[in-house]
Chains A and B, each alone.
Chain A
Amino acid sequence: MKEELDVLEQTVSSDYKYGFVTDIDTDVVPKGLNEDVIRIISEKKNEPEWMLNWRLKAYAHWLKMEEPEWANVHYPPINFQDVIYYAAPKKKKQLGSLDEVDPELLKTFDKLGISLSEQKRLSGVAVDVVMDSVSVATSFKKQLSEIGVIFCSMSEAIQNHPDLVKKYLGSVVPMTDNYFAALNSAVFTDGSFCFIPKGVRCPMELSTYFRINTLGSGQFERTLIIAEDEAYVSYLEGCTAPMRDENQLHAAVVELVAHNKSEIKYSTVQNWYPGDENGKGGIYNFVTKRGICQGNDSKISWTQVETGSAITWKYPSVILKGDNSIGEFYSVALTNHMQQADTGTKMIHIGKNTKSRIVSKGISAGKSQNSYRGLVRAGKNAINARNYSQCDSLLLGDKCGAHTFPYIESKNKTAIIEHEATTSKIGEDQLFYCRQRGIDAETAVALIVTGFAKEVMNQLPMEFAVEAQKLLAISLEGSVG
């Protein structure tokens, strides 16, 4: 028992590895939020008028809203006037290829382990990198455009594909959806835009890296992915931030639209700076992610590995509108130190024969609080809707908490919904079994945690699975060796 506690003690003392700051010239808009700031952002991005109006409308609505308090997280009130809403690496000229990217920036991504050039060469993953507020590099754009796939930053999309943006922006997450979505709609600075035309199976994984670099800045990116009929895309997203003593705000919106027989697979490895062991600093991660299975036989799958952020407030959801559509949610959320996570999913069954599956694994250590909050709703017309949910929590240490808040609502007699949840600490018999075979306590804990999370890890694309394993290992450092 003593040894076990030591292992947990060490777990608690592990550090954040991505806490460096990159010294890059940035172009920032002064702190604060008002109509003028929004106008400046819009102007800097050279946006058309309809976009500015959309932002202003969202801002006007945001002013009327109240910050939500229902989540099982606690933090001092956020001063929205104390946030930098726009910070961009200074552009000397339009970037044409990767070679023209600021070398400091490339170094940053090298440190993150996602060397753009290397990744471009080796793995054939197209990467869009968003630093602070703007997208700085998108690789493989040319190859993709040959088969009709549009993969670019949101700012470019607004310039080059305004009709698509106009049609789909806010169609899944309306600007009035919630407090942070409204804020994002008003001030979003960049993000990725992805359009897969009819019948195209995107030949490579698309990927975006987000990084908050500038002190005191918030990141508000907006991602929009559209898969037309019979299209397929797998999209990866990763995030990190430097170590800072004050809290930084990240309020993103992700919208997915899947048409007939299309499939979108969205994977996230979220590793924003979680704050130090006393809970000082760290990112507030308030994200709205939602996909709609618009067409029949479509599929949306969310996979997330959440190890970072001081506070996570995130519920990737699927609206199963098309008949026979499928929604999936796989999640590992690991909280340590003083982290707080309130995360889960919503599966809204509207169409006939819709299916959803939820697998959520929560691991809490240190003094952290980890909550699963989910909704499964079968509407009146969701004939033969089927859901299976499983959420398991693992407790490491006696000062952390694990909470489960599922909501299950059925208005249809043919719907079958199952929900299962367990909470326990690492089984003493499991530990004993490992120890018996000469495995030391640290390795045994790591082994059991990895096994616990495996069902979700298996869903990640190769490139990410490796990184995610590494992240879990870092977060549990001391016990993994």
Chain B
Amino acid sequence: MDTININYLEDKFRKLQSSTSDDILNNIRKEGFKAFNKNGIPSARNEEWRFTSVGNLFKKEYDLSADNLKITASDIDAIRLPGSGNADELVFVNGRFIPELSVIRSNEKECIIMPLEDAVKSEYQDLVNEHLGKSSLFIKDGIHALNTSFIYGGVFIHLNKNQVLEHPVYLYHLSDTRINHTLAQPRSLVYVDQSAKLQLIESFTTVGSMDSFTNGVMEIVVNTNAIVEYYKIQNDVVNASQVTTTHVRQIGKSYAHGVTISLNGGLIRNNMNIVMEAEGNEAHLYGLYLLKGNTHVDNHTLVDNTKPNCFSNEFYKGILDDNASGVFSGKIFVRPDAQKTNAYQSNKNILLSDNATINTKPQLEIFADDVKCSHGCTIGQLDEEALFYLRTRGISKEHAQSMLLGAFAEDIVMQIKNEPLRNYVEKLIFDRLSVN
């Protein structure tokens, strides 16, 4: 099929709507589908999608269901990340949160984890109602709306007041493509209450040889004095594509720290939004894309400063080999009220092959005068002098190169504060770069 095929989605949407009776979610889904119909699949003429063509992903029909699953405990064992021994492990299969496969080790005093469907009927009803779907105000394309129209089997995580969670919360996303192409649309809402601390780690795995497409949205709300760390590890197979959005709202003076590591996959689009809704917020965003083959990674970041005295720092690095292509688009908004904003942005890239491409677009939009904002980007090669230095010490060219690339990547990897995870990522990168 070579035309965009989305008609079947309407039927699936209607079925989903009629199968559930919950008003809150039904309404959100209805609005989502309206927006999906209105905006459609973004084309290259959409400025935000200029360098990432998603049309091809919508030319096949996907299975949206999570029925007849054959995922077993041993499948889960295979995808466990280091450091998960004492953590909360949430398993999503084809976009649905599966409590039976998940292990929740936090007690209720610390952290509440429940399906979204349950959350809208619980004492958290008002909270969900207030915060779910706020990212739609920032991302107005059909793909994001599609996730909203199919919110089902999502998860709600509520970190209670004053709870500093010692262990991380893992979200494993599994796509089972042994029978059909699958479209997984995980949705999560995370609320970190006052003076609490949370570490979230997301990873994506596809089992099977058919294509998987993950269209995920995670909304994180950070309250006063809270700290949230967010790590996304993308090391999936080449027939796995994804568009995932992480929308962080800092509603009180708080601290957010995000690291996105993209190593493998088909087409990957990461939307990373930080909305500073209170004075004195601080956010740090890091990203590394180490690409080969035909992998395409598009990192879109947005830092929206609406209140004074906020600080943000962004640092994204890329190494591109073979036919890989990378996109970095960073946007810093400074609203008229956001005086004394400090916002920095940097993007550095190394191209290793003649067929690799990088498009970078660091943008500043500033409406306040008392600010310090800067952005910089570079595209280039390894430092000749550093290479020469290593060569004079008897290190082969290949080894010298891999050492320097490793050091280039390390700038980002060292920002992973979870030690087992950092060691794991370091090893992945080392293996990838090392020469025998």
Chain A interface bracket (under 10, 10 to 19, 20 to 34, 35 or more): 35 or more
Instruction: Tally the A-B contacts, defined by beta carbons under 8 Å.
Output: 113
Q: Is B113 in the interface zone, CB < 8 Å from A? A: no
Residue from A402, A406, A415, A416 in contact with B366 in the complex, judged by beta carbons closer than 8 Å: A402
B365-A401 in contact (CB<8A): yes
**Across the interface, which residues of B come within 8 angstroms of A410, CB to CB?**
349, 351, 357-359, 379
Q: Is A471 in the interface zone, CB < 8 Å from B? A: no
Chain B interface bracket (under 10, 10 to 19, 20 to 34, 35 or more): 20 to 34
Q: Is B112 in the interface zone, CB < 8 Å from A? A: no
B370-A398 in contact (CB<8A): yes
A397 to B375, CA, bound (A): 22
Q: What per-residue 1/0 map shows which CB atoms of A383-408 lie under 8 Å from chain B?
A: 00000000001011111111111111
Separation in Å of the A12 CB from the closest CB of chain B? 13
Q: Is A422 in the interface zone, CB < 8 Å from B? A: yes
Q: Is B140 in the interface zone, CB < 8 Å from A? A: no
A411-B369 in contact (CB<8A): no
**Across the interface, which residues of A come within 8 angstroms of B379, CB to CB?**
378, 408, 410, 415-418
Q: Is A107 in the interface zone, CB < 8 Å from B? A: no
Q: A410-B351, A418-B378 are in contact. Are A398 and B361 (CB under 8 A)?
A: no
Q: Which of B365-395 contact A (CB under 8 A)?
A: 365-381
Q: Is A79 in the interface zone, CB < 8 Å from B? A: no
Separation in Å of the A481 CB from the closest CB of chain B? 22
Complex: chain A residue closest to B320, CB-CB: A413
Q: A410-B357, A413-B381, A416-B380 are in contact. Are A421 and B372 (CB under 8 A)?
A: no
B371-A413 in contact (CB<8A): no
Q: Is B177 in the interface zone, CB < 8 Å from A? A: no
Residue from A404, A407, A424 in contact with B375 in the complex, judged by beta carbons closer than 8 Å: A404
**Across the interface, which residues of B come within 8 angstroms of A421, CB to CB?**
362, 364, 374-376
B367-A419 in contact (CB<8A): no
Q: Is A425 in the interface zone, CB < 8 Å from B? A: yes
**Main secondary structure on B side of the interface with A:** strand
Separation in Å of the A233 CB from the closest CB of chain B? 33
Complex: chain B residue closest to A375, CB-CB: B361
Complex: chain A residue closest to B326, CB-CB: A410
Residue from B349, B365, B369, B374 in contact with A420 in the complex, judged by beta carbons closer than 8 Å: B374
Residue from B356, B363, B381 in contact with A406 in the complex, judged by beta carbons closer than 8 Å: B363
Q: Is B336 in the interface zone, CB < 8 Å from A? A: yes
B354-A422 in contact (CB<8A): no
B371-A425 in contact (CB<8A): yes
B373-A417 in contact (CB<8A): no
Residue from B351, B360, B364 in contact with A403 in the complex, judged by beta carbons closer than 8 Å: B364
B364-A423 in contact (CB<8A): yes
Residue from B352, B357, B366 in contact with A409 in the complex, judged by beta carbons closer than 8 Å: B357
A295 to B420, CA, bound (A): 57
Q: Is B39 in the interface zone, CB < 8 Å from A? A: no
Q: Is B2 in the interface zone, CB < 8 Å from A? A: no
B369-A425 in contact (CB<8A): yes
Q: Is B353 in the interface zone, CB < 8 Å from A? A: yes
B362-A395 in contact (CB<8A): no
B336-A412 in contact (CB<8A): no
Residue from B361, B369, B377 in contact with A395 in the complex, judged by beta carbons closer than 8 Å: B369
Complex: chain B residue closest to A399, CB-CB: B336
A413-B353 in contact (CB<8A): yes
Q: Is B431 in the interface zone, CB < 8 Å from A? A: no
In the complex, 7 of the A-B residue pairs with CB atoms within 8 angstroms, ordered by the A residue number, are A395-B369, A401-B366, A404-B375, A406-B377, A407-B359, A408-B360, A420-B375
Chain B interface residues (CB < 8 Å from chain A): 47, 336, 339, 349, 351-354, 356-381
